[in-house]
Amino acid sequence: MHRELIEKMKSSKVSFHEADRMPDIDSAILARRTAVSEFTGVELKHITNFSFNTREVTKRNIENMIGAIQVPLGVAGPLHITGEYANGGYYIPLATRGCSVITACGGASARIFKDEMTRAPVFKVKDAKGAKELVDWVNNPVNFKRLKEKAETTTKFGKLLSLTTFVAGRNVFIRFSYDTKDAMGMNMVTIATDVAVDLILSETSAELVALSGNMCSDKKPAAINVITGRGKTVSADVVLDRKTIMDKLKTTPEKMVDVNYRKNLIGSALSGSLGMNAHAANVASAMFIACGQDAAHAVEASNTMTTLELTDEGLHCSVTLPSLAVGTVGGGTTIGTQKECLEMLGVAGAGNPPGANSKKFAEIIAAAVLAGEISLIGALAARHLAKAHSEHGR
Amino acid sequence: MHRELIEKMKSSKVSFHEADRMPDIDSAILARRTAVSEFTGVELKHITNFSFNTREVTKRNIENMIGAIQVPLGVAGPLHITGEYANGGYYIPLATRGCSVITACGGASARIFKDEMTRAPVFKVKDAKGAKELVDWVNNPVNFKRLKEKAETTTKFGKLLSLTTFVAGRNVFIRFSYDTKDAMGMNMVTIATDVAVDLILSETSAELVALSGNMCSDKKPAAINVITGRGKTVSADVVLDRKTIMDKLKTTPEKMVDVNYRKNLIGSALSGSLGMNAHAANVASAMFIACGQDAAHAVEASNTMTTLELTDEGLHCSVTLPSLAVGTVGGGTTIGTQKECLEMLGVAGAGNPPGANSKKFAEIIAAAVLAGEISLIGALAARHLAKAHSEHGR
Amino acid sequence: MHRELIEKMKSSKVSFHEADRMPDIDSAILARRTAVSEFTGVELKHITNFSFNTREVTKRNIENMIGAIQVPLGVAGPLHITGEYANGGYYIPLATRGCSVITACGGASARIFKDEMTRAPVFKVKDAKGAKELVDWVNNPVNFKRLKEKAETTTKFGKLLSLTTFVAGRNVFIRFSYDTKDAMGMNMVTIATDVAVDLILSETSAELVALSGNMCSDKKPAAINVITGRGKTVSADVVLDRKTIMDKLKTTPEKMVDVNYRKNLIGSALSGSLGMNAHAANVASAMFIACGQDAAHAVEASNTMTTLELTDEGLHCSVTLPSLAVGTVGGGTTIGTQKECLEMLGVAGAGNPPGANSKKFAEIIAAAVLAGEISLIGALAARHLAKAHSEHGR
Amino acid sequence: MHRELIEKMKSSKVSFHEADRMPDIDSAILARRTAVSEFTGVELKHITNFSFNTREVTKRNIENMIGAIQVPLGVAGPLHITGEYANGGYYIPLATRGCSVITACGGASARIFKDEMTRAPVFKVKDAKGAKELVDWVNNPVNFKRLKEKAETTTKFGKLLSLTTFVAGRNVFIRFSYDTKDAMGMNMVTIATDVAVDLILSETSAELVALSGNMCSDKKPAAINVITGRGKTVSADVVLDRKTIMDKLKTTPEKMVDVNYRKNLIGSALSGSLGMNAHAANVASAMFIACGQDAAHAVEASNTMTTLELTDEGLHCSVTLPSLAVGTVGGGTTIGTQKECLEMLGVAGAGNPPGANSKKFAEIIAAAVLAGEISLIGALAARHLAKAHSEHGR
């Protein structure tokens, strides 16, 4: 029977989902993998190595599982951080050289300015007059309260914080903004908003076009995320002394300021960029994969602004991430290896109070991004980049 | 002695790099992992599972390795593609439902419009007059030929195609554009440009500030990548018939057009976005991880433009990715599991002629992104999104 | 003595401001004009023609006056508008053909969604921790109340509505948002914010860098104005019937929809534009000059979003201007010719209640921009543009 | 008969264009003005004052003329400029204080980097495959030559320089780039492109959607104009010494650098702006009105990048305008007062060689924008802005 199913999958007579009917999960994974292997003629021996709980993973994280990808994991640190949530030395699950520079200078500070996850359905109304009526309805405090109550029936932790309306002719976008505590929250806010939308549909003449109208904006390079924030808005900074810069980065504070000014500010501006940084997405992306986050949120992480300024006390270096979408519960956070990485940072699962773990995690990522910026800007200032590429093949 | 090293790493007396001096790689990995485990008090049993060649990986892909992250791998397809390079049915190493819709309608077409990887150093000159002199020097065909010769001494495959200059006061950016064949090429163009820069420095009074001046622009949400392209500029499209849409997506072509118009065009525009799509970064990101690409390049993939248009023949659906940075050699493409995924697609290693594999890979990714767009837009049009989130927890 | 002063001005021994010491204004104007005429050898006979009150104009509108520019004034209309403020037929002080189309279809509707003028000083603090402290201070409702009281001491009409903070490392921007009633308000909010800033400086350790930190953002092509609005956020729309389109515009609704979709949405998106329109800045700019507005605010007017959609009732056409900065008091609104244009629209001076005139004016401009969009999109759909250019030389 | 026509216009029975049938132009102007005056009840006595040639103006510049707007004209300068085209002291037809600072420091330098006017029609093709075919056709050098020949049949001066293609699914944009010599050239390139388009339509299966597809991009806040340039790309710069800054601007170089860095770079970046300047649009707009330019091109002028940097020689100040659309022939350049202003600058009419006058004009505008930036940044650094607003009412 397995053979029969495999043959049917190979000839596209049935879809891969058919294998889900098999009595046990591992047989289904094997059947699908066999079909792919035989169809493509590729021996698949590496993707068979994994140690996570397949029942949980197939239920929550992946459709049509056939195995696992192994992503090599490095470590950097300890990175000393003084945030409102993160405090102490942390081993960062990925490799970047800037950590030792920061730690040598007393550690990074970090602060969170905003923490809201958004979902913005788009509605169609009759005309500009109808748009005004819908906007007025939404802006009525009584209706906000009712929408909040409905939305919050779907979630134990999520809280609706505010609604913002945007109009383009007969298109009205309503941006729902939530506190999602330790969850990254895309799932939570989608479900909550879906229910709230029903109330709008039942009391106004607006027609729902799509539950997400791209004013959210999820995984798109959008100015709205820079300006209003999405997920965590977080800064990390440190003051580096001249000696450490010369010893460890083989360059001077002045050269680093010059690189940041001409590359990250002038160059980014000329290129029409929403992010003014050297490679924030690299560090964020590596940590996202290690820690079970949605890797595509590297898009929002790339909105980072990096500043380097000479002060009386030394070289002040900062990063500000306006739209860092991360969480410590849900998503891929419970997969074996990913969970171990979160545990290394002391942020696995729900925090106490709720939200504390994801905020701490955000501070750590910001500090790691800062380390990455210092490392690359230092290398550019010392003209070491191409050499590093040659040596490490990346 | 191991114990001694471990204790020193735990107390930050030596850096993790010290372990690289140990005689064998696996001992170094173990020593680092033990140090992290004992310092953080976290038992690290999952990250120990991996099957790739540690010698190769530690040499090329990762610093301070302590183990591996397992990313669950799903499969979708077969997705039929008619490109100039990809031709036939492909199993896509990740899960998205749109594949069956596309294949049921005869498969996707794909075309590549441009294929250039860029690196843009920033120079400092005296003033506007000096900027003009440098620009004139670079635009001199004789000098282009000399820069090309120098740059190409560093690479077997790379070809310098063109130089473009940009000025802001006394800052001059020179954007080097290369054909990098089957390599994604960031490494290659950095090394080649570094050598070419020496010629500029020796013949002009310009001063190099940074080898990358962010007019490249790598992993930043920059308009220049949308407008001039970076990596592959590739389109994929398909015409869907009404019956298939109604049967498989439970909605109508008209509703899907409406969702795309109001969400992906109007909504994206209002949000100040450089990408007009539903979730291109999701699909690209999943394939990047599976196939050994640089996951942070999801940033450039998010620049995708999606169109849905009713025509006499059915619903024409397209995606255009102006800046898809992918390769089939170098980077993480040789790691065990990642290589298997590339093999499943028939694109592992160098193509014949050189460049053919990475172009074929780009066509497949574009078709997969198209499948993802059709799937999500269909779900939104049918108002199934929140339900899907509830069921799959993602 | 005149001759002496003229000679001194010609030889740059004294500045043109010296002429302001002359006993009467017209002599000063003449002296300066003579100096310029003799220095450049250009007979200046046209710029001597003007009829406005030179005392008032030199006091409020212009430095070193030497004459006046004559800008030819056309008229279009009547354009029928049904707004909340504008109601009836209006002669638009400039020329565009779309008015008759709109009026033939029953007139345009218009609605105002937001009305706030902003000024955003930038402060320097010590670090991220200091930024958080400043942000917390500003977000304290007690301090908002005190800032509001101080700011409002400087203005009879202006009301401080809200404060929004933005952070980049140690840079904190505080965006002050005001209701400025019938004034465009840049002047008013600058003065009010300047006073409020003193309170911030006296109670926090923040240092003022500049009273305008470009998060305002005035006369720059900035996404923040599209997303949060600045000045009036206003929509105008109309439903055109097929017959009128075919008779007057010599094209079809379908073709106009196609032009708007491919040009104003797809084309604008590809070009990295913040405005999705055909030529909104043209109409706005012409009306600004005619009506004594700040002509450079054409920049913000160019953020307009134009939509054309086929509905059961006909072709729904809309424009939404997120950042229309206009007023009916102050600035150039009292100059003779400009005042006449405002009077033609019934909006000269302060409204009753205050703010009503500027809102009515905004509705009229939105409707005129709508007329301009319909006119040009119609011409493009009928392929008449080049022909029109040939005939009219513009 | 006049009375009859006036009554008909008042009651909208005939359009204002009817008056063009009257035997003489001044009667037509009078008739229209009377109709407007009687309909609105506004005495129109100021707009009757003008001295330009009504025959020429009504033929080339304005439809349905009823009079003229008087815009007060100030003068600044002399501003010393050392460009490749502008050389000497110039009186700038508008008021800004920075001129004297620049001139006191030896004058501004200026350079032009690019000079191309663009028009980008949008075509519809069948699919991605069809898009590739069209792009290949356009990129064929033989076809470029033929398109160039056709386009240039329509113009004595214009030269087609290059074609660039952009694709979004089945939409293909072809950006035609011309040297338009002394004309701003929008008119010229529209007519030339219209003719070239016919060749494309006759030899390919592409369908023209609109002669302008917004990839041009005209009067829209578009990144493409920043990145590829449009009209003139021009820089102006000057080195200011400390003493002059302290004497004339009452501040220090350090403070000015700080204002530029935090306001024009950081603040602009955070606001999602394509222009990094203090108020370039103000100066450009004022000169455009004075000199007969298209005032709505303030939009592209607002793309200006301003830099202030401390060097060994003093404070280096620069502006770079990537997209300055100006001309000295055509448009409003021949209207009496406007022509006088161009004559004051020595740039009225065609240059020798053709193009020299418009390039010289561009250099002067850039230098004037530089003066405006220095003036405002100085005032902000000295905290004089609000005071200046209070005094001058603007």
Q: Looking at the complex, report in whole angstroms how far the Cα of residue C313 sits from the nearest Cα belonging to chain D.
A: 24
Option in B110, B128, B307 nearest D111 (CB)? B128
Looking at the predicted structure, is the pLDDT value of residue D393 above 50? Answer: no
Q: Which of A334, A247, A326, A248 is nearest to A293 (CA)?
A: A326
For residue D164, the model assigns a pLDDT of 98
- B76 contact residues in A (CB cutoff 8 A): 16, 63-64
Q: Looking at the complex, report in whole angstroms how far the Cα of residue A64 sits from the nearest Cα belonging to chain B.
A: 5
Q: Is A142 exposed, middle or buried (0-12, 13-18, 19+ CB in 10 A)?
A: exposed
Strand partners, B268: none
Option in D15, D258, D275 nearest C220 (CB)? D275
For residue C1, the model assigns a pLDDT of 54
Neighbours of chain C (3+ CB pairs under 8 A): A, B, D
Q: How do strand D108-119 and strand D76-82 relate by DSSP bridges?
A: parallel
Contact at CB, A110 and C132, closer than 8 angstroms: no
pTM for the model stands at: 0.95
For residue A2, the model assigns a pLDDT of 85
Of chain B, the percentage scoring pLDDT greater than 90 comes to: 89
Option in D226, D266, D271 nearest A272 (CB)? D226
Average pLDDT over residues B128-136: 98
For residue B393, the model assigns a pLDDT of 42
Option in A49, A280, A343 nearest B42 (CB)? A343
C-beta atoms surrounding A88 within 10 Å: 12
Contact at CB, A226 and D270, closer than 8 angstroms: yes
Contact at CB, C167 and A233, closer than 8 angstroms: yes
Looking at the predicted structure, is the pLDDT value of residue C96 above 90? Answer: no
- A184 contact residues in B (CB cutoff 8 A): none
Looking at the predicted structure, is the pLDDT value of residue A389 above 70? Answer: no
DSSP-assigned letter for residue B183: B
**pLDDT range class, residue D394, cuts 50, 70, 90:** very low
For residue A390, the model assigns a pLDDT of 59
For residue A99, the model assigns a pLDDT of 87
Average pLDDT over residues B161-189: 97
Of chain D, the percentage scoring pLDDT greater than 70 comes to: 96
Query: What token pair was written down for B3?
Result: 């114990």
Looking at the predicted structure, is the pLDDT value of residue B387 above 70? Answer: no
Q: Looking at the complex, report in whole angstroms how far the Cα of residue B50 sits from the nearest Cα belonging to chain A.
A: 6
Neighbours of chain B (3+ CB pairs under 8 A): A, C, D
Contact at CB, C272 and B305, closer than 8 angstroms: no
**pLDDT range class, residue A341, cuts 50, 70, 90:** very high
CA-based nearest residue in chain D for residue B311: D126
Contact at CB, A307 and C127, closer than 8 angstroms: no
For residue B389, the model assigns a pLDDT of 59
Looking at the predicted structure, is the pLDDT value of residue D98 above 90? Answer: no
Q: Identify whether the C-beta of residue B69 lies closer than 8 Å to the C-beta of residue A341.
A: yes
C-beta atoms surrounding B312 within 10 Å: 6
H/E stretch holding B387 reads helix B385-392
Looking at the predicted structure, is the pLDDT value of residue D201 above 50? Answer: yes
Q: Looking at the complex, report in whole angstroms how far the Cα of residue C392 sits from the nearest Cα belonging to chain B.
A: 33
Average pLDDT over residues C77-102: 89
String of DSSP letters for B185-207:
-HHHHHHHHHHHHHHHHHHSS-E
Q: Looking at the complex, report in whole angstroms how far the Cα of residue A223 sits from the nearest Cα belonging to chain D.
A: 6
Q: How many CA atoms lie within 13 A of C363 on its CB side?
A: 30
H/E stretch holding A27 reads helix A25-40
The segment with the largest mean pLDDT, out of A7-16, C75-84, C176-185, is C176-185
Residues of C with CB under 8 A from a CB of B: 223, 226-227, 261, 265-266, 268-272, 274, 276, 305, 307
For residues D224 and A272, what is the distance between their CA atoms, to the nearest angstrom? 9
Q: Which of D18, D75, D125, D373 to mutate to test the interface with C (most CBs of C within 10 A)?
A: D75
Give the CATH fold of the B76-114+232-392 domain: 3.90.770
User: What Cα–Cα distance (Å) separates residue C356 from each residue in C179, C183, C353, C364?
Assistant: 12, 11, 6, 12
- C223 contact residues in A (CB cutoff 8 A): 223-224, 226-227
Contact at CB, D217 and C271, closer than 8 angstroms: yes
Q: pLDDT tens-digit profile of B341-381?
A: 999 999 999 999 999 999 999 999 999 999 999 999 999 99
Q: Which of B96, B385, B289 is nearest to A63 (CA)?
A: B96
**pLDDT range class, residue B384, cuts 50, 70, 90:** confident
- A69 contact residues in B (CB cutoff 8 A): 70-71, 73, 289-290, 337-338, 341
Query: To the nearest whole number, what is the mean pLDDT of chain D?
Result: 94
**pLDDT range class, residue A240, cuts 50, 70, 90:** very high
In total, the C-beta contacts within 8 angstroms joining chain B to chain C are: 35
The phi, psi pair for C55, rounded to 5°, reads -60, -50
For residue B37, the model assigns a pLDDT of 95
**pLDDT range class, residue D386, cuts 50, 70, 90:** low
H/E stretch holding A112 reads strand A108-119
Q: Which of A166, A321, A359, A374 to mutate to test the interface with C (most CBs of C within 10 A)?
A: A166
Looking at the predicted structure, is the pLDDT value of residue C393 above 50? Answer: no
- B227 contact residues in C (CB cutoff 8 A): 270-272
Q: Which of B25, B187, B208, B214 to mutate to test the interface with A (most CBs of A within 10 A)?
A: B214
Q: Looking at the complex, report in whole angstroms how far the Cα of residue A276 sits from the nearest Cα belonging to chain B.
A: 8
- B51 contact residues in A (CB cutoff 8 A): 45-46, 49, 70
Q: pLDDT tens-digit profile of B284-313?
A: 999 999 999 999 999 999 999 999 999 999
- A274 contact residues in B (CB cutoff 8 A): 220-222, 272, 274
C-beta atoms surrounding B17 within 10 Å: 15
For residues B98 and B378, what is the distance between their CA atoms, to the nearest angstrom? 9
For residues A212 and A119, what is the distance between their CA atoms, to the nearest angstrom? 6
Option in D16, D262, D338 nearest C69 (CB)? D338
Average pLDDT over residues C214-221: 96
Query: To the nearest whole number, what is the mean pLDDT of chain B?
Result: 94
Exposed e or buried b per residue across A143-181, where buried means at least 16 C-beta atoms within 10 angstroms of its C-beta = beeebbebbbebbebbebeebbbbbbbbbbbbbbbbebb
In total, the C-beta contacts within 8 angstroms joining chain A to chain D are: 35
Residues of D with CB under 8 A from a CB of B: 109-111, 113, 127-129, 131-132, 135, 165-171, 223-224, 226-228, 233, 235-237, 239, 272, 305, 307, 309, 316, 318-320
Looking at the predicted structure, is the pLDDT value of residue A260 above 90? Answer: yes
Looking at the predicted structure, is the pLDDT value of residue C54 above 60? Answer: yes
DSSP-assigned letter for residue C116: E
Query: What token pair was written down for B325?
Result: 């940075």
Of chain D, the percentage scoring pLDDT greater than 90 comes to: 90
CATH number (3.30.70.420, 1.20.1510.10, 3.40.50.2300, 3.40.190.10) of C121-210 reads 3.30.70.420
- C86 contact residues in A (CB cutoff 8 A): none
Average pLDDT over residues B35-55: 94
